[in-house]
Structure 1
Amino acid sequence: MNTAALYNLYNQHYLVDTDTRTIRKNTIFFALKGDNFNGNTFAEQALKLGASYAVVDEKEFKTNDRILLVADVLESLQKLANFHRKQLNIPIIGLTGSNGKTTTKELINVVLSKKYTTVATKGNLNNHIGVPLTLLSMNPKTELGIVEMGANHQKEIEFLCTICEPDFGYITNFGKAHLEGFGGVEGVIKGKSELYTFLLANHKTVFINIDDPIQVERAKEINSVCFNPNDVQFIEVNPFVKLSYKNESIQSNLIGNYNFTNIAAAITIGAHFKVSETAIKQAIESYVPTNNRSQIIKTLHNTIILDAYNANPSSMKVALENFDTIKAASKVVILGDMFEVGKESAPEHQAITELATSFNFDQTYFVGENFNIAKTDKPQFKTYQELEDFLKKNPLKNHSILIKGSRGMRLERILEFIS
């Protein structure tokens, strides 16, 4: 079945699903494959659960007329998403960067949704599957789209741009993330800048943080909208970011001065799309982070900063620096391994170990195989279970606690026994 014919079926309900556990009535089920599963085997089940059609790429699973056979299910999903994007005829903002992508995307969405019917990437669905699903979640009522694009190797952003074809772009920053796949910091800059290449080639617009020299240099030939430091000014972090927008103070629910740039980006983009100053203020002040991203959690005895969604050398550094500035009677740091750092893993973990130790926090704990081999006189735990066993015997009480590590470490489990 070709893309145009498939689109005629899709636009009856504007629904697609890839998981029978969350199937919706009248949806089109795309039978994707993974390392440990074959979605083709679930095609008939999807129909029984309410799907109108199922798309498969193995002939033996086409058992009735509502099961549609294509050469490659993933490729069909991606082509359908791009075809749909062309029909939408709405502005789409493409967003990438090493750190802060998801928080910035959420901020942009809450600001723009004050004036427009928006659709933004859900959670962290920002890859070769998530981007198509985001586009296909938009319908004729959608007025503006915000698409987060993640990458861990060269040419990935380039490919995602061909699917979502953004009219506007923003790169949060260039940091030490996914060094293994990109081959170093220069590789990160080159890979993320593929968004700039697309915007330039297609005469689109980029949002620029003028305090970032890499952004300024890399995007100098593109039509740009810059952060205006006269309009957006940092006031303080205590512990939440407070700033001024056109002389009106805004009190956010985000910790860390690094979030000032994320907020400034959302304000700049909102202003460009003519969201009122009052609405922008209301949006920023109403946003509360979730999903283990710089969440402040108050328990009976402790105040916890939970930042266990992601970690790389750049984000670790700013998180530690910010935690050092927070006023608290007693501070405890629990750091988990940083993944996808590649050949730089040992020196980067050692550098973070030394940085964390230099702040003289009351207690500092390192957990994971990479941190376990770093040289330090602070407690080290090779596995999460070792840390858990230790903390159960030595409970933390009356502290401010920073918990940060890569997603695979799942350090949020600590919350189960910190009261």
Structure 2
Amino acid sequence: MSLKIQNIIPQIQAEFVGNNSTVSIDTISIDSRSLQNGSQTLFFALVGSNNDAHVYIKDLIEKGVQNFVVTHIPEGCEAKANFLVVRNTLEALQEFAAYYRGLFHFPIIGLTGSNGKTIVKEWLNFLLSPDYNIIRSPKSYNSQVGVPLSVLAINEQHNLGIFEAGISTGSEMEKLKPIIKPTIGILTNIGSAHDEGFTSLEEKIKEKMLLFEDSEVLIYQKNEIVDSFISKKAKAFTWSFDSKDADVFVFSAAIKNDSTTIQYRYKGDSFELTIPFQDKASIENAISCLMVLLYFKYEGKTIQNRMELLYPVEMRLKVKNGINNCSIIDDSYSSDFQSLKIALDFLESQNKRQKKTLILSDIFQSGLSNGELYSKVSQLIVSNKITRVIGIGETISSFENKFTNCVTFKNTEAFISSFDDLNFSNETILIKGARTFHFEEIVALLEEKTHETVLEINLNAISHNLNFFKSKLKPKTKIMVMVKAFGYGSGGLEIAKLLEHHKVDYLGVAFADEGISLKNGGIHLPIMVLNPETTSFAAIIQHQLEPEIYSLKGLCAFLKIAEQKKLKHFPIHIKLDTGMHRLGFENNTIDDLIATLKGNQTVQVKSILSHMATSDDLEHKDFAHSQIDLFENLSLKLMTELQIKPIRHILNTSGISNYPDSQYDMVRLGIGLYGVSNDHEEQKYLENVGTLKSVISQIRTISAGESVGYGRRFMAEKPTKIATIPIGYADGISRGWGNGVGFVTIKNEKATILGSICMDMLMVDVTGIDCKEGDAAIIFGESPSVNYIAQKLNTIPYEILTSISQRVKRVFYRE
């Protein structure tokens, strides 16, 4: 992209306020945290329900960004940059993308549907890439923001586009249609996703079909409802398992071993192809791809040769523990310029080490000459402060001189041969490669070897849940997020990095060592220690943590150390006991507290807080209000007597939802971040964060009268197929969950836990489940949920989450 601001202004109906309207723009950004923002970036300050990017403009100007699309010019930024003032910045981004799309006239494939969009897009890219220079949506960029960002990556060398559109409510598709403007439409499977946004299936289909109003052709599985909404401009190109009237009639899909042979009839002739999948969704997605190849008039032999090479699509960026204290970001299945930019931003949001290494294969389908491409890659690497580059491939090797501290290898085998000489340790490593380079072999070399039980943490879900609770807050209410107890079992440092990326105001930990670990991991956010022991005060001061002070004895002990170190205005947090009767100053000690603090310059009361005992139980609403009233009175007395204006906070997760009028200056978000609510209605809006999964180690069939496990607590009454799974009470699974009480999920079916749970294993009944050794077993996640397990065990979700042993490997990923 290279456009002058003066040409953009009329397209988004902007008022220009600045000094230079002839400056060229080569990058569009909406993320103030990206290190890729520069002097030729046009930054769109988007405004959401819980975030306003205008507040970051001053910082961006200081970092060299000079061009902004805004609804208003922030105070203090006047005359310091170029501003394009519009009514709505999101609409401006969409209008600009629609204008930019109109500058190009090659075929565009547009996809929508409930399921399969991203997989079909990635498979089409693979199938068509030998013949086209393709631009496609990176990852699953299919939203109101993702679609324009995808389209704005088009350049002059592309000759085919593949973009997906996702919607969750009515009126959204009309915004995306002019941005994608597909010439070829594909409607994938219509399922139940986002049903809550529509009054009926018909309404959902009608809304999705808007995308194809001006398309030349629409490819879809023949369906009477879809037939009724198809545009008169579009030619229907249909397929079916049932209707011989469809253009392509699939009369057989025979599953054998790990593949499926599809037989179909097209234009009176019969054809056959094989795909390396067995599941229904993959078969339907493959047929959608087949339809495109037929429309493009590919020969049957070419179709067969390419489709038998289809592969599972990995849509997630994963963070894994590596050897020698390394962190691994696994993006080993794609290599294109747009997804590299996304992966580098993700690297920065998850980086825990000073050293950052990029292992990068040749990049394909950039639409740029190799010289221009690797110059741009070099600029990205410099802006993201990558310490070391390892290039793998013939092409990137020839441009080694464009990178500093770079070593290259002609292929993956050469890299593996030199692996021991590369000395990987204490660094974050982004592994980014095209499938043909088999970078999964590199991941296997670098990944820390642990047993096959993992707790997968969905970082998108954490972001979603954070934003859900932020949407309940008043504009000026700050937010502290609790990352104590190893991030409620999810991994403290990784979660803290994400929260810092989201610019939360405070982090909360229980003990000093948790905070020290975060500080040593590179966290810069202020961290409050809720339960500091007197013996930890020196370490708290050394690591710039902020202690909660809950007693006169503790206060005097801290003041003594602070005075010895000649501190001034060191931040502390005063805890009041308003009825929890756990920790805190009570009414009868407030005067002594005031007397001790009055005139003291060593410390600064950063906040005053209390904790509610019944915020989650509305039967005790009167008691909760009495706590809030007492907090108001005691905190006001402190503020008046000490003449201070600290942050005040009393609400936890349940309090945020149940007592919105008592937000004060800050709230403390805990278990809600991790996708757990005690309110059934609220739970519907939260996303599952952690999925604990293992694998089937062994399967056997026992006869009637035989037993399973210690104590013979399960006796088979009939032949029973038993699967053993390598996870037990040493991993945090309660023994009370055994003996028929609990279950795991295998192949989307419940497998009841039989007999006693062992230290390292449990056994389940898989009679009637089509499974094999090595198949995944979900211990908790969507089903069973931690709420369900807690209810059955008569405990709380906190205990389930925090019990998971640290020997269980955490894998962090972003969709």
Specify if TM > 0.5.
yes
**Match runs of 1:380-395 below 5 Å:** 383=797, 386=800, 389=803
Q: Is 1:225 the equivalent of 2:237?
A: yes
After TM superposition, give the deviation of residue 356 of structure 1 in Å: 2.5
Q: Secondary structure of 2:47's match?
A: coil
The counterpart of 1:101, out of the listed 112, 117, 122, is 117
For the 8 Å contact 2:181–2:215, the answer to whether it is kept is no
Q: In the alignment, what sits opposite 1:265? A: 288
Q: Is 1:39 the equivalent of 2:53?
A: yes
Note closer, same or farther for the CA distance 1:215–1:56 as it changes in structure 2 (3 Å cut): same
Matches of 2:313 and 2:280, distance apart in 1: 15
After TM superposition, give the deviation of residue 261 of structure 1 in Å: 0.8
Q: Secondary structure of 2:749's match?
A: helix
Q: In the alignment, what sits opposite 1:132? A: 148
For the 8 Å contact 1:171–1:192, the answer to whether it is kept is no
Matches of 2:783 and 2:282, distance apart in 1: 30
Q: In the alignment, what sits opposite 2:749? A: 356
For the 8 Å contact 2:217–2:237, the answer to whether it is kept is yes
Matches of 1:53 and 1:229, distance apart in 2: 51
Q: Is 1:256 the equivalent of 2:279?
A: yes
Q: Is 1:53 the equivalent of 2:467?
A: no
**Match runs of 1:57-136 below 5 Å:** 57-60=71-74, 61-136=77-152
**CA distances 1:175-202 after superposition (whole Å, capped 9, x unpaired):** 111232224xx24x422432324534x3
Q: Is 1:234 the equivalent of 2:253?
A: yes
Q: In the alignment, what sits opposite 1:179? A: 195
Between 1 and 2, higher relative CO (CA 8 Å, sep ≥ 6) is seen in 1
**Match runs of 1:194-343 below 5 Å:** 194-200=207-213, 202=214, 204-210=216-222, 212=223, 214-216=225-227, 218-219=229-230, 222-227=234-239, 229=248, 234-236=253-255, 238-239=257-258, 243=262, 249-252=273-276, 256-274=279-297, 277-278=301-302, 281-282=305-306, 285=309, 287-292=311-316, 302=452, 329=699, 330=723
TM-score normalised by L of structure 1: 0.67
The counterpart of 2:44, out of the listed 30, 36, 39, is 30
Note closer, same or farther for the CA distance 1:373–1:86 as it changes in structure 2 (3 Å cut): same
Q: In the alignment, what sits opposite 1:408? A: none
The counterpart of 1:19, out of the listed 22, 31, 48, is 31
Note closer, same or farther for the CA distance 1:163–1:364 as it changes in structure 2 (3 Å cut): closer
| Structure 2 residue identity aligned to 1:31 | A
Moved more, 34-43 or 90-99: 34-43
Note closer, same or farther for the CA distance 1:20–1:261 as it changes in structure 2 (3 Å cut): same
After TM superposition, give the deviation of residue 81 of structure 1 in Å: 0.7
Q: In the alignment, what sits opposite 2:629? A: none
Matches of 2:87 and 2:114, distance apart in 1: 34
Across the aligned residues of Structure 1 and Structure 2, the Cα RMSD in angstroms comes to 4.9
Equivalent pairs, count: 361
Q: Secondary structure of 2:161's match?
A: strand
Moved more, 37-46 or 70-79: 37-46
**CA distances 1:249-295 after superposition (whole Å, capped 9, x unpaired):** 4443x5623111111112221332345653774376254421359x9
Matches of 1:242 and 1:381, distance apart in 2: 50
Note closer, same or farther for the CA distance 1:364–1:12 as it changes in structure 2 (3 Å cut): closer
Matches of 2:215 and 2:185, distance apart in 1: 12
Q: Secondary structure of 2:309's match?
A: helix
**CA distances 1:7-41 after superposition (whole Å, capped 9, x unpaired):** x9899555211113332442222122234432223
Note closer, same or farther for the CA distance 1:249–1:93 as it changes in structure 2 (3 Å cut): closer
Matches of 1:149 and 1:380, distance apart in 2: 44
For the 8 Å contact 1:388–1:414, the answer to whether it is kept is no
| Structure 1 residue identity aligned to 2:10 | N
After TM superposition, give the deviation of residue 57 of structure 1 in Å: 1.9
Matches of 1:170 and 1:388, distance apart in 2: 45
The counterpart of 1:143, out of the listed 151, 156, 159, is 159
After TM superposition, give the deviation of residue 215 of structure 1 in Å: 3.8
Q: In the alignment, what sits opposite 2:11? A: 3
Q: Percent identity?
A: 23
For the 8 Å contact 1:92–1:166, the answer to whether it is kept is yes
Note closer, same or farther for the CA distance 1:155–1:131 as it changes in structure 2 (3 Å cut): same
Q: Secondary structure of 2:255's match?
A: strand
Matches of 1:9 and 1:283, distance apart in 2: 50
Q: Secondary structure of 1:258's match?
A: helix
**CA distances 1:285-317 after superposition (whole Å, capped 9, x unpaired):** 254421359x9999876599x99799xxxxxxx
For the 8 Å contact 2:786–2:801, the answer to whether it is kept is no
Moved more, 243-252 or 64-73: 243-252
TM-score normalised by L of structure 2: 0.37
After TM superposition, give the deviation of residue 161 of structure 1 in Å: 1.4
Q: Which runs of 5+ in 2 are unaligned?
A: 1-8, 15-19, 240-246, 265-269, 318-332, 334-439, 462-695, 700-722, 728-744, 753-764, 768-776
For the 8 Å contact 1:235–1:242, the answer to whether it is kept is yes
Matches of 1:107 and 1:385, distance apart in 2: 42
Matches of 2:117 and 2:68, distance apart in 1: 33
For the 8 Å contact 1:369–1:383, the answer to whether it is kept is no
The counterpart of 2:203, out of the listed 165, 186, 190, is 190
For the 8 Å contact 2:238–2:248, the answer to whether it is kept is no
Q: In the alignment, what sits opposite 1:341? A: none
